[in-house]
Amino acid sequence: MASDLLPVEDALSRILAALSPLPAEMVPVSEALGRVTAEPIRARRTQPPMAVSAMDGYAVRAIDVASVPATLRRTGSAPAGGQFAGTVGAGEAVRIFTGGPVPDGADTIVLQEDVDASSEEDGADVVVREGAPAGTFIRPAGLDFKGGDVGVPAGRRLSARDIGLAAAMNVPWIRVHRRPRVAILSTGDEIVRPGELTDPSRIVSSNAYALAAVVRAVGGEPVDLGIAPDDSDALRTLAAGARGSDLLVTTGGASVGSHDLVQSALGDTALGADALKLGFWKIAMRPGKPLIFGHLGPVPMLGLPGNPVSTMVCATVFLRPALERLLGLPENSTALVEAVLAVDLKPNDRRQDYLRATSVPGPDGRRMVTPFDRQDSSMMSRLAGADCLVVRPPHDPARRRGDTVGILPLDGGFLSI
């Protein structure tokens, strides 16, 4: 591999090493879906706080119903939210409902359908036709969780299930990592916003919109700085809008052409401390070779290529893990999944290749993947139609149908229920 091309793994490691999880803030539990916990969520109560009935029926002593039929005397009731103040003695039964506290003296619940009651009044006879061993249909105190238990660990993206658990644990506010504020700057004389196309030689800008969607999906807040023309002063002026952001992402202008001004314009030494301090440039990958990472003043900057597919592949490989680092999430979004090739592939060259592909379930449960015949980095229709990227390491030999390969899945949402 040529020395001027940085391996993908090294590039990602250097990006993540330059980033740290953002500070924490408090949010109400009702607004915490998708946020990432900055500390464990601990129960503020025991659930249930006392032994309660799991069914509607009668609270009795197991010894009194060991032989059936057994005739007992109703002495009261224990509804959910209420409590029987007395004690269940020999030959006695207390009407109880699901969630009702189990009275002192009782050690089992007989189902209401297994009982014949002469009336719903206290003092009435209750004939038990089916007995119940001690502990039947009783939920002991702390069955779900106890006060102080960790219900949700730190560094977890909160699902709807987590929100329900936190609420049940009597937690009204949750400490989460602040959302990353990501400034997005498009570059190029040739691009215009959707709906503005009047000249067939111009290109409709898609990168800013796709990147903003990625940022939102991962959990950040995108800020569109606009489109900078191929003019150094204009580029510097718009890039200055990234001050105060947690990350600046540029698209286009990262290569070596005469109109690729990102490095030269932002790296101008006249900017002093605000000049671009280049960390690295050019990655051994396809698509996405001319990728930049550095700092524009104090703001980390990721300079992505302008071709839309290159932009989105780099967003998948680098931007998403960077955002997850800022959010305090574990590093697992670039982990490959095993799949089986449905077609033959030629040998790969010195760059790590990310082939847009579709997949179907295979007989062994693994996906069977078919890369598109054409892999041009301008073809957004192919990327939109793909559900995974087949990842081929540098100098990967020819592959045959049925060989195992690694893929990065693209389907499925970032949030789970």
Span 193-247, pLDDT tens digits: 888 867 788 888 899 999 999 999 999 999 999 999 888 999 999 999 999 999 9
Q: 235 and 226 in contact (C-beta within 8 Å)?
A: no
All CATH 3.40.980.10 domain ranges of the chain, comma separated, are 8-22+179-327
- Burial (CB count within 10 angstroms: exposed 0-12, middle 13-18, buried 19+), residue 327: buried
User: For 272, which DSSP code?
Assistant: G
Sheet holding 70-78, edge to edge: 108-111, 57-60, 92-96, 70-78, 125-128, 115-117
pLDDT, one tens digit per residue, over 166-177 is 999 999 999 999
Q: State the pTM of this model.
A: 0.87
- CATH number for 337-409 (one of 3.40.50.300, 3.40.1390.10, 2.170.190.11, 2.40.340.10): it is 2.40.340.10
Q: Which CATH architecture has domain 29-43+144-177?
A: Alpha-Beta Complex (3.90)
Across the chain, mean pLDDT equals 92
Count of alpha carbons within 13 Å of 306, Cβ hemisphere only?
22
Looking at residue 230, what is its pLDDT? 87
**Which residue has better confidence, 190 or 312?**
312
DSSP-derived pairing of the beta strands 92-96 and 70-78 = parallel
Looking at residue 252, what is its pLDDT? 87
Q: 117 and 123 in contact (C-beta within 8 Å)?
A: no
Looking at residue 209, what is its pLDDT? 94
Looking at residue 260, what is its pLDDT? 60
Considering only the top CATH level, what class is 8-22+179-327?
A: alpha beta
The pair of three-digit structure tokens given for residue 83, joined into one six-digit string: 């409590």
Residue with tokens 């040529």: 2
**Across residues 330-335, what is the average pLDDT?**
81
**Across residues 175-199, what is the average pLDDT?**
90
Looking at residue 256, what is its pLDDT? 54
Q: Which of 176, 167, 186, 284 is nearest to 234 (CA)?
A: 186
Q: Which of 100, 98, 93, 104 is nearest to 132 (CA)?
A: 93
What backbone phi and psi angles, to 5 degrees, belong to 232?
A: -60, -45
Q: Which of 339, 316, 300, 297 is nearest to 414 (CA)?
A: 316
Peptide bond connecting 371 to the previous residue in cis, omega within 30 degrees of 0: no
**Which residue has better confidence, 165 or 415?**
165
Least-confidence region, from 7-21, 44-58, 103-117, 326-340 = 326-340
Q: 322 and 214 in contact (C-beta within 8 Å)?
A: no
pLDDT, one tens digit per residue, over 22-35 is 999 999 999 999 99
Q: Across 264-351, where does the E strand assignment appear?
A: 276-281, 285-286, 292-296, 299-304, 337-341
- The radius of gyration of the chain from alpha carbons, rounded to an integer in Å, stands at 31
| 367: pLDDT strictly greater than 70 | yes
All CATH 2.40.340.10 domain ranges of the chain, comma separated, are 337-409
**Across residues 279-304, what is the average pLDDT?**
94
pLDDT, one tens digit per residue, over 126-153 is 999 999 999 999 999 999 999 999 999 9
Q: Across 92-189, where does the E strand assignment appear?
A: 92-96, 108-111, 115-117, 125-128, 138-139, 150-152, 173-177, 181-187
**Across residues 380-391, what is the average pLDDT?**
94
| 414: pLDDT strictly greater than 60 | no
Q: Which of 141, 139, 137 is nearest to 62 (CA)?
A: 137
> Rounded to 5, what percent of the chain is helix, strand, coil?
20, 30, 45
Looking at residue 1, what is its pLDDT? 42
Least-confidence region, from 44-53, 255-264, 382-391 = 255-264
The whole-angstrom separation of Cα 303 and Cα 294 is: 8
Quote the distance between the C-alpha of residue 131 and its chain's center: 49
The whole-angstrom separation of Cα 111 and Cα 186 is: 68
Name, in order, each residue with C-beta under 8 angstroms of 341's C-beta and a sequence gap of 6 or more.
368, 369, 390, 399, 400, 401, 402, 403, 404, 405
Topology adopted by domain 52-139: Molybdopterin biosynthesis moeA protein; domain 3 (2.170.190)
Q: What is the three-class DSSP state of 170?
A: coil
pLDDT, one tens digit per residue, over 74-113 is 999 998 888 899 999 999 999 999 999 999 999 999 999 9
- Burial (CB count within 10 angstroms: exposed 0-12, middle 13-18, buried 19+), residue 133: exposed
What one-character-per-residue DSSP string does 114-125 give? Answer: GEEES-SSTT-E
pLDDT band at 267 (very low <50, low <70, confident <90, very high): confident
**Across residues 333-360, what is the average pLDDT?**
94
Name, in order, each residue with C-beta under 8 angstroms of 292's C-beta and a sequence gap of 6 or more.
250, 254, 262, 263, 278, 280, 281, 301, 302, 303
All CATH 2.170.190.11 domain ranges of the chain, comma separated, are 52-139
